[in-house]
Structure 1
């Protein structure tokens, strides 16, 4: 598992994630919370190239810390 970023907002079936530094955009990648439960998949990236934001298609909200992960 590698760090993907931190959830910053949840709106209308999409989770907004501020990606960790050095994260490369990968579309349709499964996203997991800290307890390794699958939350959804990435479908859009926007913002600065060095640390973008991602939209994750999901209805679930992450746990309190909001840390999210991708599988290697």
Structure 2
């Protein structure tokens, strides 16, 4: 898995690795990731950086579930 440069790439990489949308949302704010795969852990770290604000987290949820990201 190449280094990801955006939230969408990180999400797509995690989904491709077999994680569910729920697993992504429940682990994005963790300080310890319950995964053995180093690529998954590094991708979560990238995703945390991309989603560090509430606004960016809302964009993550919108991307995962197809909601409008205009909702505050």
Question: The TM-score by the shorter chain falls in which range?
Answer: under 0.3
Q: TM-score, normalised by structure 2?
A: 0.26
Higher relative contact order (CA 8 A, sep 6+): 1
Compare CA radii of gyration and give the structure with the larger one: 2
Structure with more helix by fraction:
2
Q: TM-score, normalised by structure 1?
A: 0.26
